A and B are shown apart, each in its own frame.
Chain A
Amino acid sequence: MKTLLLVGQLLILFYFAALNLLYTVLAYFGLKTVVENTRTATPTALKALLESDAYRPISILVPAYNEERSIVSCVRSFLTLNFPELEVIVVSDGSKDRTVETLIEAYALIEIPQTFRRSVPTKKIKRMFRSATWPNLFVLEKENGGKADALNAAVNVSRYPLVCAVDADSLLDGEALLRASRLFAEDESVVAVGATIRALNGAELHDGKVTKLGLPTGWLERCQVVEYARAFLIGRAGWNRLDAVLIVSGAFGVFRRTAILEVGAWDTTTVGEDMEIIVRLHKHFRSAGRQYRILMSPDPVCWTEVPSDAGTLRRQRSRWQRGLFETLWRHRDMMMNPRYGKLGLIAFPYFLFFEALSPLIEVFGWLFLPLSALFGVLSWDYALAFTIVALLYGVLLSQLAVGIEALLFARYSTLNERLILILAAFVESMGYRQMLVYDRFMAMFTVWTQRGQWGAMKRAGIPATRAADGTPP
Chain B
Amino acid sequence: MWRSRGDILFGVVILLVLAQEAVGFVGITWAFALSTLHRGGRDTPWWILVAVLVMALAAMLLLVAYMIFFHLWSEAQDARRTRLMREWAEVWAQALTTEAPVLPARFPSEATQALLRLGDALTGQGHARVRELARRSGIEAAILKKLRSRRVPARMEALEVIALGRLEGGFDGALIEMKSSHPGLSMMGARACARTLAAVESQALRVERTMAFVQALSASRLSEGAMRECLLLTEEVAPEVIASILANPPVSELVLSAAVETVGHLQIRECGSAILPLLARGPELRAAVLRAVARLRTVPADLAPALLAMLDDPTEFVRAHAARVAALTPSDAVLAKLWERLGDASWWVRRAAAQSLLEMGNPGREQLARAAKDHPDRFAREAAGIASGTLSMAEAA
Residue positions of A touching B, CB distance < 8 A: 6, 9-10, 13, 17, 20-21, 24-25, 27-28, 31-32, 34-42, 44-45, 48-49, 51-54, 113-118, 173, 175, 179, 184-189, 298-299, 301, 376-379, 381-382, 385-386, 388-389, 392-393, 395-396, 399-400, 402-404, 406-410, 413, 415, 418-419, 422
The interface residues of chain B lying within 8 Å CB-to-CB of A379 are 32, 35, 40-42, 44
Q: How far is the CB of A333 from chain B (nearest CB, A)?
A: 31
User: How big is the B interface, by class?
Assistant: 35 or more
Which residues on the B side are within 8 Å of A404 (C-beta)? 10
A31-B347 contact in complex given A48-B229, A188-B223, A385-B49, C-beta closer than 8 Å:
no
Q: Which residues of B contact A298 (CB under 8 A)?
A: 2
Please list 24 pairs of residues, one from A and one from B, whose beta carbons are closer than 8 Å in the complex, sorted by A's number.
Answer: A6-B36, A24-B18, A31-B10, A34-B2, A36-B152, A36-B156, A38-B2, A38-B3, A38-B4, A39-B184, A44-B160, A51-B232, A52-B228, A53-B265, A54-B232, A114-B393, A115-B393, A381-B49, A396-B17, A399-B63, A403-B10, A403-B63, A406-B6, A406-B71
Question: A35 to chain B: which residues have CB within 8 Å?
Answer: 7-8, 11, 153
Separation of A20 and B19 alpha carbons in the complex (Å): 12
Docked pose: A380 CA to B225 CA in angstroms: 62
Residue B273 is within 8 A (CB to CB) of chain A in the complex: no
**In-complex Cβ contact of A187 among B32, B188, B223 (8 A):** B223
On whether the beta carbons of B53 and A415 are closer than 8 Å, the reply is no
Q: Smallest CB–CB gap between B57 and chain A, Å?
A: 7
A423–B263 CA distance with the chains assembled, in angstroms: 58
Provide the bound-state CA to CA distance between A54 and B17, in Å: 43
Contact between chains at A385 and B28 (CB < 8 Å): yes
Measured CA separation A382–B3 after assembly (Å): 42
From B18, B50, B53, B224, give the contact of A21 (CB < 8 A). B18
Which residues of chain B come closer than 8 Å to A187, judged between CB atoms? 183, 223, 225-226
Please report the number of residue pairs spanning A and B whose Cβ atoms sit closer than 8 angstroms: 218
Q: How far is the CA of A13 from the CA of B52 in the complex (A)?
A: 14
B residues within 8 A CB of A28?
A: 11, 14-15, 18
CB distance from A111 to the nearest CB of B (A): 11
Per the bound structure, the CA–CA distance linking A421 and B32 in Å amounts to 34
- For A386, list chain B residues within 8 Å (CB): 28
Q: Which residues of chain B are within 8 angstroms of A31 by Cβ–Cβ distance?
A: 7, 10-11, 14
Q: Does A408 lie within 8 Å of B31, measured CB to CB?
A: no
How far does the Cβ of B213 sit from chain A's closest Cβ, in whole Å?
Answer: 15
- Smallest CB–CB gap between A328 and chain B, Å? 27
B187 touches A389 (CB 8 A): no
By the criterion CB–CB under 8 Å, are B40 and A377 in contact?
A: yes
B4, A39: Cβ atoms closer than 8 Å: yes
Cα(A392)–Cα(B55), bound, Å: 10
Pairs of residues from A and B, 9 with the lowest C-beta to C-beta distance, nearest first = A52-B232, A39-B156, A113-B392, A385-B49, A54-B229, A379-B35, A17-B25, A38-B2, A392-B56
